[in-house]
């Protein structure tokens, strides 16, 4: 009987993973390329995407721990295995509710290295203290110092919606980060990682020599897991899980791909699986919203909820590269924040127009995000959706839209008044989209055609529904708009039956008051 795989859930230390026999997806060829082709790096990736393990691997490499890399790709590339002093700072444990916590973290971590190398604790600013530590280590070892900073932005992201606190934390960190450039002659390698890419003038100021590899396709797979890597390092786990479920491994892989794959952070077309969720699901042998539920999406949910047309706009958004590259508290774009936090990803790239198309990565993010939006925007929890609303999908699948919309009207009538009063037309469109998506209907909003924009398109194996919405107007007018703008043309060769639906919402009753249906 084959030995069961040990999955490193919650373990981010390279040395522990190797010594204790946990599964490790070998990224050391990329690590070797990183450390031998540059000196100053910055990498942004969503939370729990492998950044800490990457820095831990780099730390072990520079500490010359050759024995840990035996059998890995880098063992065939590196010959010297020189040892360098390493300073690693980790801000991921920052607690926004604890006063002076950033100072406590810096003091504790700098003290550790000062004690390790027998250096007195000086009563000076943190940036001067770090510089003094770097210089002292250089003098003691006669080797360039390696500085690794994990989750550099945690104290900033925690206060992104609180400008005064954000500015205070930014000033502290800017003094520490920016001063590194003045120590260039004493440094061997520097790398900072985080979730967000704040502008260099905003946080790094003088540290303008960082090479940002966040959207560099040469390092696109340095965090995350590819399908090729799953087959090479985790196939045994796939086979065991599939066997427990009584299904073929290929069928299980298809489900894993739908739920946890689909991330792209660069122009590279290689799909990336969320490593946190993938490891969790293989260990627990149960599908779940592991990554999504491991952190609060409150800021993202509020951004969408408080921006009426943001939800529909973000699901298929075309943007320029600059929009994704950096954010700041004063000019932060919801799109940039959602992309960097992992709620949106690159779906396509046009090399001619230099335009990216963004979308939600996979089913895990979609399900979790829509569920939170339903609670925040509609005052309902998906777990308590009534039987009647679940029947909507079945009725539409069978080609019975009138009965389906009767069920929708009944459900919408139960949404609290305070949630729906004084809302624009797009609010009702978003609500309808959320409800249909929550019950598993393939729903697209704002479908662009040569003559206009379709409010909503629903797709089923045998039917395509084209829906136009109005507020305090006429459902017949909505249906006429579908015809006059020739909205059915893009689907005329699809082969499925096309059903056109005009819908009117009333701001007074906050519900559907009229529908017109026509089939082609």
The whole-number average pLDDT for the span 24-29 is 98
User: Which has the closest alpha carbon to 367: 308, 439, 446?
Assistant: 439
Q: What is the chain's mean pLDDT, rounded?
A: 88
508 vs 515: CA distance, rounded Å: 17
| CATH architecture group of domain 26-219 | 3-Layer(aba) Sandwich (3.40)
452 vs 127: CA distance, rounded Å: 56
Is the pLDDT score of 311 beyond 80? no
Partners of residue 466 on adjacent β-strands: 457, 500
What is each CA distance from 139 to 136, 145, 166, 189, 474, in whole angstroms?
A: 5, 10, 36, 16, 80
In this structure, what token pair is assigned to residue 127?
A: 């940036």
Query: pLDDT digits over 10-19, tens only?
Result: 999 999 999 9
The whole-number average pLDDT for the span 189-217 is 83
Hey, how many other C-beta atoms are within 10 angstroms of the C-beta on 290?
Answer: 23
232 vs 27: CA distance, rounded Å: 12
Cβ neighbours of residue 130 under 8 Å, at least 6 residues apart?
A: 87, 110, 176, 179, 180
What is the reported pLDDT for 133? 96
Is the pLDDT score of 379 beyond 90? no
What is each CA distance from 368 to 259, 295, 310, 362, in whole angstroms?
A: 11, 11, 17, 10
Tell me the pairing of strands 317-320 and 355-359: antiparallel
Q: List Cβ<8 Å contacts ≥24 apart for 350-359.
A: 351/267, 354/320, 354/321, 355/318, 355/319, 355/320, 356/318, 356/319, 356/320, 356/321, 356/324, 357/316, 357/317, 357/318, 358/314, 358/316, 358/317, 358/318, 358/319, 359/315, 359/316, 359/317
Hey, how many other C-beta atoms are within 10 angstroms of the C-beta on 337?
Answer: 19
* 49 — pLDDT class (breaks 50, 70, 90): very high
516 vs 503: CA distance, rounded Å: 7
For the ranges 50-54, 267-271, 334-338, the maximum mean pLDDT occurs at: 50-54
Tell me the pairing of strands 497-506 and 463-471: parallel
What is each CA distance from 16 to 22, 330, 374, 502, in whole angstroms?
A: 8, 41, 41, 61
Is the pLDDT score of 240 beyond 90? yes
* 418 — pLDDT class (breaks 50, 70, 90): very low
Compute the Cα dihedral for 178, 181, 187, 193 and give only its sign: positive
Q: What is the pTM of this model?
A: 0.87
* 322 — pLDDT class (breaks 50, 70, 90): confident
Instruction: Indicate the class that CATH gives domain 379-519.
Output: alpha beta
Q: What angle do CA 492, 493, 496 make, to 5 degrees?
A: 80
Helix (H) or strand (E) holding 114: helix 101-116
Which DSSP letter does residue 200 get?
A: I
Please tell me the least confidently modeled range out of 176-190, 433-447, 455-469.
Answer: 433-447
What is the reported pLDDT for 384? 66
211 vs 43: CA distance, rounded Å: 9
Q: What number of residues does the chain have?
A: 520
DSSP states of 258-299 = HHH--B-SSS----BB-HHHHHHHHHHTS---HHHHTS--HH
Greater confidence (446 vs 353) lies with 353
Query: pLDDT digits over 354-367, tens only?
Result: 888 888 999 999 88
Cβ neighbours of residue 28 under 8 Å, at least 6 residues apart?
A: 57, 61, 69, 72, 73, 74, 75
Is the pLDDT score of 1 beyond 90? no
What is each CA distance from 399 to 113, 461, 492, 495, 501, in whole angstroms?
A: 69, 11, 18, 15, 12
- Domain spans in the chain, listed from the N-terminal domain onward: 26-219, 298-359, 379-519
218 vs 50: CA distance, rounded Å: 17
Query: pLDDT digits over 100-115, tens only?
Result: 999 999 999 999 999 9
Query: pLDDT digits over 161-185, tens only?
Result: 888 998 899 889 988 888 888 899 9
455 vs 312: CA distance, rounded Å: 10
* 486 — pLDDT class (breaks 50, 70, 90): very high
What is the reported pLDDT for 426? 64
In this structure, what token pair is assigned to residue 444?
A: 């697209």
404 vs 414: CA distance, rounded Å: 16
φ and ψ of 504, to 5 deg: -120, 130
């Amino acid at each position: 009987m084959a030995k069961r795989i040990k999955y490193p859930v919650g373990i981010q230390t390279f040395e522990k993973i190797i010594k204790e026999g946990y599964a490790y997806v070998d990224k050391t060829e990329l690590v070797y390329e990183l450390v031998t082709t540059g000196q100053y790096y910055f990498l942004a990736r969503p939370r729990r995407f492998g950044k800490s393990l990457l820095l831990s691997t780099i730390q072990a490499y520079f500490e010359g721990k050759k024995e840990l890399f035996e059998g890995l790709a880098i063992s065939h590339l590196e010959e010297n295995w020189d040892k360098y002093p390493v300073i690693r700072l980790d801000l991921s444990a920052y607690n926004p509710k604890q006063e002076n916590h950033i100072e406590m973290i810096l003091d504790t971590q700098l003290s550790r290295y000062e004690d390790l190398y027998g250096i007195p604790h000086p009563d000076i600013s943190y940036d001067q203290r770090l510089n003094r530590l770097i210089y002292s280590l250089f003098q003691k070892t006669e080797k360039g110092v390696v500085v690794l900073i994990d989750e550099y932005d945690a104290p900033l992201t925690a206060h992104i919606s609180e400008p005064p606190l954000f500015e205070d934390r930014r000033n502290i960190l800017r003094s520490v980060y920016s001063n590194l450039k003045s120590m260039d002659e004493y440094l061997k390698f520097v790398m900072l990682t985080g979730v967000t890419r704040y502008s260099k003038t905003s946080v790094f100021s003088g540290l303008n020599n960082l090479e940002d590899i966040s959207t560099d396709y040469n390092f696109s797979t340095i965090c995350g897991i590819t399908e090729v890597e799953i087959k090479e390092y985790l196939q045994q786990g796939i086979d065991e899980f599939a066997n427990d479920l009584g299904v073929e491994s290929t069928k299980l892989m298809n489900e894993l791909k739908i739920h946890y794959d689909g991330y792209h952070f660069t122009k590279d077309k290689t799909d990336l699986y969320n490593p946190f969720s993938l490891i969790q699901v293989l260990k627990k042998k149960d599908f779940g919203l592991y990554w999504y539920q491991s952190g609060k999406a409150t800021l993202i949910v509020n951004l969408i909820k408080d921006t009426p047309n943001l939800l529909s706009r973000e699901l298929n958004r075309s943007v320029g590269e600059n929009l994704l590259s950096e954010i700041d508290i004063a000019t932060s774009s919801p799109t940039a924040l959602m992309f960097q936090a992992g709620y949106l990803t690159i779906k396509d790239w046009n090399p001619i127009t230099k335009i990216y198309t963004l979308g939600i990565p996979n089913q895990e993010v979609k399900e979790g995000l829509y569920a939170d939006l339903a609670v925040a925007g509609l005052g309902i929890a998906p777990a308590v959706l009534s039987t009647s609303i679940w029947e909507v999908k079945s009725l539409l699948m069978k080609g019975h839209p009138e009965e389906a919309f009767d069920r929708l009207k009944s459900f919408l009538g139960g949404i609290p008044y305070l949630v729906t009063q004084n809302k624009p037309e797009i609010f009702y469109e978003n609500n309808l989209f959320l409800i249909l998506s929550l019950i598993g209907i393939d729903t697209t909003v704002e479908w662009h055609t040569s003559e206009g924009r379709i409010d909503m398109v629903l797709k089923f194996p045998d039917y395509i529904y084209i829906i136009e919405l109005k507020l305090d107007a006429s459902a017949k007018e909505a249906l006429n708009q579908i015809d006059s703008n020739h909205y059915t043309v893009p689907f005329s060769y699809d082969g499925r039956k096309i059903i056109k639906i005009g819908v009117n919402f009333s701001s007074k009753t906050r519900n559907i008051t009229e529908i017109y249906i026509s089939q082609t």
